[in-house]
Amino acid sequence: MLPLNLSGDPATPLKLLFLGAHSDDIEIGCGGTVLRLLSERANVDVTWVVFSAAPQREQEARTSASLLLQQAARQNVKVLGFRDGFFPYEGLQLKESFETLKKEVEPDLIFTHHRDDRHQDHRTISDLTWNTWRRHLIVEYEIPKYDADLGTPNCFVPISEDLCARKARHICEVFRSESGKTWLTEQTFQAVLRLRGIECASPTGYAEAFHCRKFIVAP
């Protein structure tokens, strides 16, 4: 297994774009990777977009982003108001929001939902990501849920045990509006991280996993 290093001139900002259908999706899918990247890179420019959030969920989304992105050199957090569960039926407006976003950011790396996620909102965001940025490095994160659709990822980011614990604790503490859901436990997120750590032989025993459809090998 070969590592993929995000190299380049350290004086040049690493531009990251995170896209999430709902207020906790980015944190669940790649919160540990966010923390690791920001701890290891000094000049990171983050654009963070949540497409659906009712008032309480919007406040949680903004609180979460502000806590996770403290080490970012620059951050631009957007929380939009699309209707939860209805993304496929709001395609025109969503497409327009992506076209607007495309004019605002030229990312080096994009994090979005997995194409085969069974949640209709997640799939719509994934499809629009690929429609909008066709020559960019895109990785698709996973969301554990009742549908049992985690799939077989092919890209892994080893995460320290400390960052795993921080991620799991952060999600459960910030997203109180979801506290009645049986899946919202630290054990849920630790379990997925441990499983993915086994699959990539992570030296820490933990990892986040992604689906990467295309990348270019540069000599």
In the chain, the domains with their CATH numbers are 14-153 (3.40.50.10320)
CA–CA separation, 211 and 150 (whole Å):
10
CA–CA separation, 206 and 217 (whole Å):
26
pLDDT at site 7: 66
CA–CA separation, 198 and 126 (whole Å):
27
Asked if 29 and 35 touch (Cβ cutoff 8 Å), the reply is: no
Q: Where does residue 151 fall: left (phi above 0), alpha (psi -120 to 50 degrees), or beta otherwise?
A: left
Q: One digit per residue, pLDDT tens: the chain, 219 residues?
A: 777 777 667 778 999 999 999 999 999 999 999 999 999 998 999 999 999 999 999 999 999 999 999 999 999 999 999 999 999 999 999 999 999 999 999 999 999 999 999 999 999 999 999 999 999 999 999 999 999 999 999 999 999 999 999 999 999 999 999 999 999 999 999 999 999 999 999 999 999 999 999 988 877
pLDDT at site 108: 95
pLDDT at site 6: 76
pLDDT at site 1: 72
